[in-house]
Amino acid sequence: MLQLDDLDRAIIRLLKEDARLTIAEISDRLNKPESTIHFRIKKLQEKGAIERYTIILGSSLKPKHIAFLVLKVEKPVIEDFLERYLEYITKTLSMLPNVLMVAKSGDDKIVAIVGEDTQERLDRFIEENIKSIPTLKEVLVFPIREFKKGEELVGFLAGI
C-alpha cells in the first residue's frame, strides 16, 4: 500500500467529492501554496494513487431498482468445461446494459449486480435473461431495499 501523508489524503478527499476543483481552489481550501498542490497531484498520479477522473450519473439516468445475484453453475461431466461455462456466462452477462457488474467467484459461482427502472422490469429481466441461461443450477436474488454505504456505485456503473 502506498504511504500517504495528511496533505495527500486531504487532496484525494477533495477530488473524490468534486474532481472539477482547480489547483487554485484546492490550494485555497487546504491553505497550502498552489505549487505544492500541483506537485502533490502530479506525484499522486505518477504513483498510481489516482487512476482516472470520471462522472457519476444522476437520478434521471440510473436504474432505481437494484439486485445482487449469485449464480451457481452446474458441474459438467467433463470438469474442464466448468471454466468455459463461467467464461461464457460472465461474458454474455457483461454485454447486457442491465448488468452493472459481473465477476467469477470461487470455482463455480458468479456474482452480479443488476438494475432496472421498475421492480416489474427487473424481475422480468432476471426471469428471462438470467434464469434462462443453460448450465445454471441455482440463481439467488437479493433485492436491495436500502443502501447504507456505497449507493453511488449505481450512478458510477450505470451505462447509457
x-or-dash string of contact with its own copies, 109-148, rule CB under 8 A:
x-x-x---x----------------------x-xxxxxxx
Q: Is residue 106 close enough to count as binding its own copies by CB under 8 A? A: yes
C-alpha cell read off for 91: 461474458
Which SS3 state, helix, strand or coil, does residue 104 take? strand
State the pairing for strand pair 109-116/65-73: antiparallel
Nearer to its own copies, 77 or 148 (CB): 148
CA 39 to chain centre: 30
Nearest to 90 by CA among 76, 101, 74, 102: 102
Q: Is residue 149 close enough to count as binding its own copies by CB under 8 A? A: yes
- Using CA atoms, how far apart are residues 45 and 50, in angstroms rounded to an integer? 5
Q: Is residue 15 close enough to count as binding its own copies by CB under 8 A? A: yes
Q: Is residue 31 close enough to count as binding its own copies by CB under 8 A? A: no
Q: Is residue 65 close enough to count as binding its own copies by CB under 8 A? A: no
Q: Which of 23, 30, 70, 136 binds its own copies (CB under 8 A)?
A: 70
Q: Is residue 49 close enough to count as binding its own copies by CB under 8 A? A: yes
Provide the CB-side half-sphere exposure for 1 (13 A, CA).
Answer: 3
- Using CA atoms, how far apart are residues 78 and 29, in angstroms rounded to an integer? 62
Which residues lie near its own copies (CB under 8 A)?
1-2, 4, 9, 12-13, 15-20, 47-61, 68, 70, 90-91, 93-94, 99-106, 109, 111, 113, 117, 140, 142-153, 155-157, 160
